[in-house]
Amino acid sequence: MLKSKIETLLRNHVKESLSPKQEDISFVSTIYNSFTDILGQNECRQIGSFPRYTAIRPLHDLDIIYKLNNEEFEGDNPQDFLNELAKLFEENYTNPTSYSIKTKIQTHSLAFIFLKGEDEVFAVDIVPAKIRGKNEFDDDTFLVPEIIQFRSHRKKEDFYAKLQSTNQNMKWIKSDPLGYITIASNINKENSDFRKSVKFIKGWKNACKDKNENFKLKSFHLEQLITEQLKIKSNQTIFDSLFECFTDLKDNVRKPKIKDRADSDKYIDQYVLELNESELSLIDQAVDAVLIAFEKFHGNVNNLINVGYYKRFSKEMFLFDSKIPVLVNTDLEFEIEGYVKRVSGYREYTAKVSSLRGDALNNNSIKFDIIKNNIGNDSRKWKIRNDDNSPEPRGEIGYETEPVRIETTKYYGKHYAECYAIKNGICVAKSKSDVII
């Protein structure tokens, strides 16, 4: 499918299926205003994906920075302040929704959990913050209570409980959430596909997580990978940015690469060092699955997002391994045919593979030839793939200088040969010949 058609479908899907609806935005705005009515508009700022406009639906939470002054907070432990803040809300807060609310004092924040029965519908985290200074955009930077990253929610809760029981103080760390908001806004002014690309990849990440809880990629990490790309390549379209992000992702989860804006000694993707081999393999399988789906894409974007995982065979290769996208132009003529070698006679390769089935192809030789081609001869690649259950599934891809490929037949099953026409680093046409033995 042509790139322009793919991009139209991607943009429409993000708008219709992933972007928050107006009622979602109004809901968050109503809740936010209910908190600022007590804390004050000037003392609060929304942070996170919602004010960066990279959140996808269903919306789950909202983080609010509550700026402290010296009169409000003088110590190093936010616990007493959070207790007072909880009491303030208990006495004055008016719930603007039909949901019930559970308040939870955490070591680093005050959480309000909106419930429908026993199910959590939405959550608000109020994070106390000391103003530290200004960033390059003249936005406030902060010191906030450290949120320790654990591999499980239970370990995090145990850590906070231990701090409370031993009267230990939380560390205050540097934070620049407003800087990330400004950068997202500036990039989107230059490239309106930025937020669409981020929403798509977040939707894919959530679908992978739904299928397997051990899928450990973080949404903010993916967003920042695309952010870093568009800082350098500001004209990337939604397809370009997604293709680059996916094809680089396996390398980008092996080592932290993105420095924290507020503290250059830290990385926002530091968590990748905790991923074990099984978790890394799962990410690799998810990346392979979505890129294979892009190579075979026929119009259903939902299938791209929900494609799941693919475990490839050891020798199997794909065009995306060489960073070659498949953007087939159906107006071009490109076709291959396989011809079986005859045991006797003057013409060695005569019978078409497409007309044969079964044992007639076994222990034989097949010549695959390009029989239609109005593209030219920039370059081509051939892929030979044996049946999954054969002793040698193969699947390697290689360049060929001649328009023919000769293969011997050895195993029963469903096999195929596929030829790709490569022009300017893009696969513009492909043709497949099935071989059933």
Render pLDDT for 17-63 as a digit per residue (tens, 0 to 9). Answer: 999 999 999 999 999 999 999 999 999 999 999 999 999 999 999 99
Chain centroid to Cα 329, Å, comes to: 27
> pLDDT tier at 1 (50, 70, 90 boundaries)?
confident
Is residue 171 pLDDT above 80, yes or no?
no
Examine domains 19-178 and 319-436 and report if their fold is the same. Answer: no
Phi/psi region, residue 3 (left: phi>0; alpha: psi -120 to 50; beta: rest), is: alpha
- Flag the least confident range among 162-166, 223-227, 282-286: 162-166
Q: What is the pLDDT of residue 257?
A: 96
Q: Which residue has the higher pLDDT, 344 or 104?
A: 104
Specify the length of the chain in residues. 437
Mean pLDDT score of the chain = 89
- What mean pLDDT is predicted for residues 402-417? 87
Q: Which residue has the higher pLDDT, 268 or 348?
A: 268
Is residue 13 pLDDT above 90, yes or no?
yes
User: What residues does each domain of the chain span?
Assistant: 19-178, 191-311, 319-436
The residue type at 324 = I
- What mean pLDDT is predicted for residues 220-224? 98
Q: What is the pLDDT of residue 276?
A: 97
Q: What is the pLDDT of residue 351?
A: 75
* Burial class (CB within 10 angstroms; exposed 0-12, middle 13-18, buried 19+) of 234: exposed
Please say whether the beta carbons of 334 and 328 come within 8 A.
no
How far is it, in rounded angstroms, from Cα 298 to Cα 415?
A: 22
CA-wise closest residue to 396 among 415, 414, 383, 410: 383
* Burial class (CB within 10 angstroms; exposed 0-12, middle 13-18, buried 19+) of 197: buried
Is residue 153 pLDDT above 50, yes or no?
no
Look at residue 109 and give its three-state secondary structure: coil
Domain 319-436 has CATH 2.60.40: yes
Concatenating the DSSP letter of every residue in 416-428 gives EEEEEEEETTEEE
Q: What is the pLDDT of residue 140?
A: 95
Domain 19-178 has CATH 3.40.250.10: no
Biggest alpha carbon distance in the chain?
A: 100
Q: What is the pLDDT of residue 437?
A: 85
> pLDDT tier at 149 (50, 70, 90 boundaries)?
very low
Residue partners of 201: CB distance under 8 A and separation at least 6: 222, 223, 226, 242, 245, 246
Whether the upstream peptide bond of residue 58 has omega within 30° of 0, thus cis, is yes
DSSP summary character for residue 323: T
The residue type at 373 = N
Instruction: Count CB atoms within 10 A of the CB of residue 371.
Output: 14
How far is it, in rounded angstroms, from Cα 15 to Cα 403?
A: 44
| CA dihedral (38, 156, 270, 20) positive or negative | negative
Q: What is the pLDDT of residue 150?
A: 41
- What mean pLDDT is predicted for residues 70-80? 60
Specify which of 76-80, 106-110, 177-181, 403-407 reaches the highest per-range mean pLDDT. Answer: 177-181
Please say whether the beta carbons of 139 and 126 come within 8 A.
no
- What mean pLDDT is predicted for residues 120-145? 94
Please say whether the beta carbons of 51 and 139 come within 8 A.
no
Residue partners of 335: CB distance under 8 A and separation at least 6: 370, 371, 372, 373, 431
